[in-house]
Structure 1
Amino acid sequence: MTRPFIMVAPNGARRGKADHDALPISVPEIIHTATSCYNAGANGLHLHVRDEQGLHSLDVGLYKEATSELALVLPKLKVQVTTEAAGIFDVPEQLKCLQELKPKWASISIREMARDLSLAPQVYDLCAESGTEVQHILYNTDDIQLLHEWQQQGIVKATQGSVLFVLGRYTQGQISSPDDLMPFREAMPNVKDWMVCAFGPQEHACLANAAQQGGSVRVGFENSLVTPEGMQHADNAASISRLIKTIDQLK
């Protein structure tokens, strides 16, 4: 089995230092974490930036600062920015971020775009025009059905086929299972470019299962802080190293 593309999601929109001291908040901390994760074997970074209060942000200035520094320090690391609403941002603000930033790669939740049907087509048109690669965030098979409908209607372009299957949620005691991937795969049997992330202590088992099936994987503190034994990873790089060891043992 070939080692999959590995993306690290080191912080997310909701967790902070109270959850783990090594969770990066500031841009310098994100750069430091990205470097250690790249050295551990990460191929890509799912980028969230935070404001001065440490809160989730779609601030274009912060994004430009972080992506410019990452390009200098880690030119081979593929960087994906998030447009996640996180209960804070509406579709106009998400669209504005994409318009001003024009990132190379962005993650976009189709259910979030569906909150404003008048603007959703503009989001995908803009990405196509500006050359922004889109990864659709899919939380369940209802999201997949909506994606199929929008593809048929031409709202989502033929070139915008990349997806992320999300196993689980931010809920107390969440334990995602490798079996949780099955409904996604059955609903999209012919998808070529797919990735998986998973919440809880079985994160690595879920990702190893996805890798065996030919998928890419997303790992990191956005989704899980703990080992299969329930102990906290030392940092994001430690989680990546252990995941790679788990995957390599399957070869």
Structure 2
Amino acid sequence: MALPRLMVAPNGATRTKADHPRLPLSLDEITETARACRDAGADGLHLHLRDDEGGHLLDTGAYQEALAHLATAVPGMAVQITTEAAGRYEPGHQRHVALHSGAQMVSAALREIARDDEARAARFYAACAEQGIAVQHILYAPEDAERLARILPRGLLKARDLQLIFVLGRYLPGQSSTPDLLTPFLDWMTVADLAPDWAICAFGQGETACLRAAHAVGGKLRVGFENALVHEDGRTARDNAERVAAIAAITGPAR
């Protein structure tokens, strides 16, 4: 299963309507956003759910309901669930949700999944592979990449369908993302002799420049209000679909 070429991440775990009034929180709002973003050029949705109070939610039943609903509401759009802890969930719960929500695509930060036990993390990755669940490994720095190479069973590491996402600038002051932050990850893939299915995400006003640079060297892209609310010129985007359209104009039509 390949990564979508342009995935939208419309809300994330912590932002609220105080950050942007068109940030989708309910499943109905997420569905409406997914439709608009699909029409604007996105072929994938990075799914975060919220509870009744708007808090970040990792729940197998809620995911099962949402996945069934979205399969009907936005047919043909790939849906990837998050396992983000957001300070609320432990690795065991994250792994359980990934394995039992019925999702075919899951994003998982190595730093979180392996936080309690690297051996358990390795078994989790193997279990996902056995169940046909595509895990996109979230890597924040080359050190994460090197650690993944140690933990991941070698057959999975060298697989052509290994999915990665490089997060540019998450832990820099002001979450300032610049295209040069991609270079260490590209160098790591070369040295490690890997050819994975990879993507990036970036933050703030630098998001567009980073996505453009990644596209130029064969990377796939994730865009949306989870990471940035503004266009390259600093204007606040009207909604997620406007950000998707801006990036789709750079990547061109799907081939």
Q: Between 63-72 and 18-27, report the one with greater CA deviation.
A: 63-72
**Does residue 138 of structure 2 align to residue 134 of structure 1?**
no
**Cα drift, residue 242 of structure 1:** 1.1
In the other structure, the counterpart of 1:64 is 64
- Structure 1 window deviating more from structure 2 (20-29 vs 174-183): it is 174-183
Partner in structure 2 of residue 173 of structure 1: 174
1:107 and 1:58 map into 2 onto residues whose CA distance is 12
Q: Deviations over 1:202-237 (max 9, x none)?
A: 111110110010010000000100111222100000
Distance 1:113 1:225 in 2: 28
The aligned counterpart of 2:41 is 41
| TM-score w.r.t. length of structure 2 | 0.90
2:241 maps to a residue whose letter is A
Aligned residue number for residue 196 of structure 2 = 192
Query: Which consecutive residues of structure 2, in runs of 5 or more, have no partner in the other structure?
Result: none
TM (normalized to structure 1)? 0.91
2:209 to 199, 205, 210: 205
- Residue 171 of structure 1 deviates from its aligned partner by 6.8
Which residue number corresponds to residue 26 of structure 1?
26
Pairing 1:217–2:221 present? yes
Counterpart amino acid of residue 61 in structure 1:
G
Secondary structure in structure 2 of the residue aligned to 1:188: helix
- Structure 1 runs (4+) deviating above 4 angstroms are 153-160
- What is the one-letter code of the residue matched to 1:196? I
The corresponding residue for 1:148 is 149
Q: How many residues align?
A: 244
Give the structure 2 partner of residue 76 of structure 1: 76
Q: Which of 226, 234, 238 is matched with 1:234 structurally? A: 238
* C-alpha distance in structure 1 between counterparts of 2:171 and 2:15, whole Å: 10
Aligned residue identity for 1:184:
F
Cα RMSD after superposing both structures: 1.8
Aligned twin of 2:92? 92
CA distance, structure 1, for counterparts of residue 133 and residue 18 of structure 2:
34
Q: Is the 8 A contact 2:64 2:102 kept in 1?
A: no
Report if aligned partners of 1:49, 1:58 keep a CA contact under 8 Å in 2: yes
Give the 3 Å change call, closer, same or farther, for CA 48–206 of structure 1 in structure 2: same
Letter in 2 for 1:19: D
Matches of 2:172 and 2:242 in 1, distance apart? 24
Contact 2:164 2:196 in 1 (8 A): no
SS in 2 for 1:22: coil
- Deviations along 1:105-142, whole A, 9 cap, x unmatched? 00011111221215313321221121101110000011
Native 8 Å contact 1:25 1:49 kept in 2: yes
Residue type matched to 2:181 in 1? D
Question: Which is worse superposed, 56-65 or 138-147?
Answer: 56-65
